[in-house]
Structure 1
Amino acid sequence: MRSDLIACCGGLFRAVGLAALALLLTVTAASAERRVALVLGNSQYQHAAPLANPVRDAQAMAERLKKLDFEVFSGFDLTKLQTQATIEQFAKQVRGADIALFFYAGHGLQVSGKNYLLPVDAALEDETSLDFEAVSVDFVLRQMSRETSISMVFLDACRDNPLAEVLAKTAGVNGASSGLAEIPVENGSAGTLVAFAASPNELAYDGSGEHSPFTSALLKHIGAPNVPITEAMNGVTSDVLKATTGKQHPWISVSLTTEVVLHKVDLNAPLIVGEASAPQAEGGSDARNTGAASASGQSDDQLALDVLRQKIPRLASDAPIFFDHPIDFGDPAIDGKSIAQLIKGKPLFSPVEGLDKSVWEDKRCDGCHEWDEARLCEQAKNFATNDASVLRLQHPLGTRFKVALAKWAQGGCK
């Protein structure tokens, strides 16, 4: 019997070999934390109708976690033996991790308050089958708890499960149901978060998209820049409620003793801190450049710098640049405005490569960077001294704004 209810609780910097172009960008996606994740998804069940979303859900989650600096152990459409082997690999590496994470999508059930995940070869002909064909959630949690600081569990596993019905009716197992049971969070734990796609003992909707409502929301919110995981889960809950018109309510239990932010970005740091100068050879040396000399006597490094400098755009006017005077940049988006005006406006581009637009589009430039005339002058001097830096990274107000800043600094930041 198929039901509509199916998912429940259950600017990389490219090095160019130039010391003069060494990039010092203050963006921290993750600290020195060691993060280890186990991600499992089962769709192609041998003794039940296939499920549409779980493998896609798990694959997308595995990719997202890799981008958040997790070492990911993943498996899709695994048998019981394959599942155990994958959990064993995870267990060996997760010990001592700062953050341990487990995500599962697929069939799950509970029997007398105990939760089980079902590999694709599970048949569940009788109660004994649970020990030999299913995987106890408690077993996975034990592997995560060994000397780890923070544990996070996400279960999109309360599918409308015909195998649970077989176990409950044919085998006469009391208390077998598709909905998962609440997982208690132990007091004294260093930090634990448990999230079900729906409330305990309830089912959830499959949805009509590429992912289940719960996983869609989780992919959207997990790892949002500078957002604590507890706040992210509030967003997940809100999105799932909206997507299901209030019929599905994720259940989340949290006992974290510290704020957990999976994607940390320093929005107050200058975009470019500085660039190292090219190494200078000692006086009297015939080799005054570290790069190989070209036929014209220039090093490869110097040639590369010259090529970059040729690409630096020119301003539309050669007039002196003053902090509070309108500037003819040659860019319609900012023409006729002064530096003083522009830094109090909104950015045109992301201040940090890859930063989601929702984080920066409504911010003021001087708010994000704490810019004032003196601090901006220091950045402008850097552009003037290391002119190639103008092209190395995008600026919130564009490349021509950086060119103007460099010219402003050359004139004494007046």
Structure 2
Amino acid sequence: MLRATVLAVFVLLLGLTVASAERRVALVLGNSQYEHAAALPNPVRDAQAMAERLQALGFEVVSGFDLTKQQTQTTVAQFAKQVRGADVALFFYAGHGLQVSGKNYLLPIDAALEDETSLDFEAVSVDFVLRQMSRETSIRLVFLDACRDNPLAQVLAKTAGVKGASSGLAEIPIENGGAGTLVAFAASPNQLTYDGSGDHSPFTKALLQHIGETNISITEAVNRVTSDVFKATNGKQRPWINVSLTTEVVLHKVDLNAPLIVGEARPPQEEANSGTRNTGVTASQENGDQLALDVLRQKIPKLETDEPIFFDRPIKFGDPAIDGKSIAQLIMGEPLFSPVEGLDKSMWQGKHCDGCHQWNEARLCEQAKNFATNDVSVMRLQHPLGTRFKVALAKWAQSGCQ
């Protein structure tokens, strides 16, 4: 039996990412269940959500949650191997951290920090992780949500008498090389962050919202994060950003002028009954496609009427060139645009649309049904009567082509 097919719309993703061949690798760590300090409610949730977000943006993600020192080193070692030669390297950490004499450390869940020597054996130096990112990578992005009030830092400062130990993180200088580096702390140096009363900390919540926004640079994204966190904490927490990028970094880039292409796809019911299928499309690619479709939907123009559309009744298109005319009138008139891009004007100006396309009510209804089934298909290529005419056709089909 011949397999039934329906027309489906796919986005031609010219430049969905910074570059089609760009390779991105991320290390995502989150620690909540500390053995020698009170548990933190959000870091693991923060890190898990960030890992999912980065995967949707095309990152290869190396992740770990509630890791001991040994497990952390193993995970960082895996990241170090995987990140070599990447175009973009990203590091996100949520959990306890501290600084000692200007050096920043991240704390695994088994850290006790009974004396100064404990730092070398129980904590993980931020510099150690950054060195792994700097090998043969072009762009480095670092996000540290690790400035929480840390009782282990207090123990180290008081009991062990370690000078300069505190919960806040110290500024991280940026090294030259590649296309540059961006470092973002959840709070200003030497300041503490709020873990938040919701599912995520204020910093991670804002970062999840803004990282990878369509056609927004990472620099603008972190500026938006800073603003959101400052407002959410009533001015008590201000993220700190250090940026030295020599190129614009856009994690979700969509060419809004790219055409759509029409291909064959199986109906939803057949997809559901087909069992296991290998589409060759990853979950992150599907998420990226959906983001691009959402952007295109925002560009679909609206008619000036919510009333049903009829074939032979005047329509309020919202376009002076065709306002007040019916579909029947317009298909008998002259085209406003070339039916084929680049076609010489002598081939279409002064002609009649029904002559070019052999339009009639039945044939036009079939085309209109396609527009109604796949809403973003009205944005596919240029139409002789404009996009608003296609929007009206879709609405006409929804009313049964009356």
TM-score (norm 2): 0.70
Residue 29, structure 1, aligned to residue 10, structure 2: no
Query: 3-state SS of the aligned residue for 1:273?
Result: strand
Instruction: Indicate the residue corresponding to 1:182 in structure 2.
Output: 171
The answer as to 2:390 corresponding to 1:390 is no
Amino acid at match of 2:126: V
Assess if the C-alpha contact under 8 Å between 2:215 and 2:254 holds in 1.
Answer: yes
Structure 2 matches for 1:20-169, cutoff 5 A? 21=7, 23-27=9-13, 28-30=15-17, 31-169=20-158
Q: Structure 1, residues 148-171: CA drift from partner, whole Å, max 9, x if none? A: 010000000011000001111111
Percentage of identical aligned residues: 70
Which one of the candidate residues 233, 236, 239 is aligned to 2:222? Answer: 233
Q: Say which SS state the counterpart of residue 130 (structure 1) adopts.
A: helix
Partner in structure 1 of residue 261 of structure 2: 273
Q: How many residues align?
A: 315
Distance, in Å, in 2 between the alignment partners of 1:101 and 1:17 is 45
The gaps in structure 1 that reach 5 residues or longer are: 1-15, 278-323, 345-371, 409-414
1:26 CA drift (Å)? 2.3
1: CA distance, partners of 2:220 / 2:245: 12
Q: Residue 34 of structure 1 contacts residue 70 of structure 1 at CA under 8 Å; is this kept in 2?
A: yes
Q: Describe the shift of the 1:375–1:97 C-alpha distance in structure 2 as closer, same or farther (beyond 3 A).
A: farther
Comparing 199-208 and 390-399, the one that deviates more: 390-399
Aligned partner of 2:251 in structure 1 is: 262
Does residue 338 of the first structure (1) align with residue 338 of the second (2)? no
SS of the residue 2:89 aligns to: strand
Q: What amino acid is the match of 1:181?
A: A
AA of the residue aligned to 2:105: Y
**Which deviations, in whole Å up to 9, do the C-alpha atoms of 1:129-151 show, x marking residues without a partner?**
11111000001001001100100
Q: Deviations over 1:32-58 (max 9, x none)?
A: 210000000000000000001101110
Distance 1:170 1:143 in 2: 33
Structure 1 residues 66 and 392: CA distance shift in structure 2, 3 A: farther
Match of 1:91, SS?
A: helix
- SS of the counterpart of 1:227? coil
Aligned pairs for 1:290-301 (under 5 A) are none
1:204 is displaced (CA, Å) by 1.5
Amino acid paired to 1:273? I
Q: Structure 1 residues 95, 385: CA separation in 2 closer, same or farther (over 3 Å shift)?
A: farther
Aligned equivalent of 1:205: 194
- Aligned AA for 1:337? K
2-structure distance, mates of 1:159, 1:328: 56
Q: Give the Å deviation of 1:339.
A: 7.1
**Cα 1:390/1:118, change in 2 over 3 Å:** same
Shift in CA distance, 247/403, structure 1 to aligned 2, threshold 3 Å: closer
**TM-aligned CA distance change 1:343 to 1:183, over 3 Å:** farther
Query: 1:115 is matched by which residue type in structure 2?
Result: N
The Cα shift of 1:245 comes to 1.0
The answer as to whether partners of 1:189 and 1:255 remain within 8 angstroms in 2 is no
Deviations 1:287-335 (A, max 9, x none): xxxxxxxxxxxxxxxxxxxxxxxxxxxxxxxxxxxxx9x998549xx99
Distance 1:385 1:327 in 2: 20
Paired with 1:219 and 1:343, the residues of 2 have a C-alpha distance of 43
Amino acid in the other structure paired with 2:30: G
Equivalent-residue separation in structure 2 for 1:276 and 1:33 (angstroms): 29
Instruction: Give structure 2 stretches of 5+ with no counterpart.
Output: 266-302, 324-334, 342-352, 380-386, 397-402
Q: Structure 1 residue runs of 4+, over 4 Å off?
A: 20-24, 274-277, 326-329, 341-344, 375-378, 380-389, 396-401, 403-408
Work out the CA distance in 2 between the residues paired with 1:268 and 1:195.
33
Q: 1:243 to 1:404 in 2, by over 3 A?
A: closer
**What secondary structure is seen at the aligned counterpart in 2 of 1:395?**
helix
CA shift, 1:341, in A, is 5.7
Q: Which amino acid aligns with 2:315?
A: G
